[in-house]
Structure 1
Amino acid sequence: MNSKHETIRCERCGKSIECKANAFTKCQCAAVQLNLNEVEYISENYEGCMCAACLEELKEEYTITLNS
C-alpha cells in the first residue's frame, strides 16, 4: 500500500516520522509553535525535519539559553 506521505527520520533523534509537507497543518511538527527567534536558533544546527518532541526540547533549550 502506498502512502501519500513520506516516512523519514528525525534529523536529531532518528525516530521515524511521517512527513506531511504537502499537508503541513496535519503534520506532527505543526503542533509545535515556534517564534522567529526559535526557528533561527534551531536552523543554526539543523536543516531537516524533526519530530515534535525534538522541536519542543529545542524550544525549551533556546529559552534556557536566553535566560542564562
Structure 2
Amino acid sequence: MHTKHEIISCDRCGTGIECKANAYTKCQCSVVQLTLNEVQYISENYEGCMCAKCLLELQGEYREAMGISL
C-alpha cells in the first residue's frame, strides 16, 4: 500500500500512524480536542506525535488527576 504521508510511531505506544503534519485537519490526532492545560500536561512527558487513542487516554488521565468530570 502506498501512502501519501510519512508513517511514524506513536511516541507513547509505538503504533504506526500516518503523519499528516502538512494537512493537520485531516490527521487522525486532530479528532481529539485538548485544552491548553491538557496539551501542557502531555508535552511535559512526550515530545513526538501520538495516536488519537493515546491522546484520549492521556486527556482522561489529566482530567482524573485534576478532578474534572467529563
| Matched residue, 1:44 | 44
Alignment partners' CA distance in 1, 2:29 and 2:17:
10
Aligned residue runs from structure 1 range 1-68, under 5 A: 3-67=3-67
Larger helix proportion, structure 1 or 2? 1
How many positions carry a matched residue from both structures? 68
| Structure 2 gaps, min length 5 | none
Q: TM-score, normalised by structure 2?
A: 0.91
Residue 2 (structure 1) shift: 5.2
Alignment partners' CA distance in 1, 2:30 and 2:3:
20
- The amino acid of 1:41's aligned partner reads Y
| Structure 1 gaps, min length 5 | none
Q: TM-score, normalised by structure 1?
A: 0.94
Identity %: 68
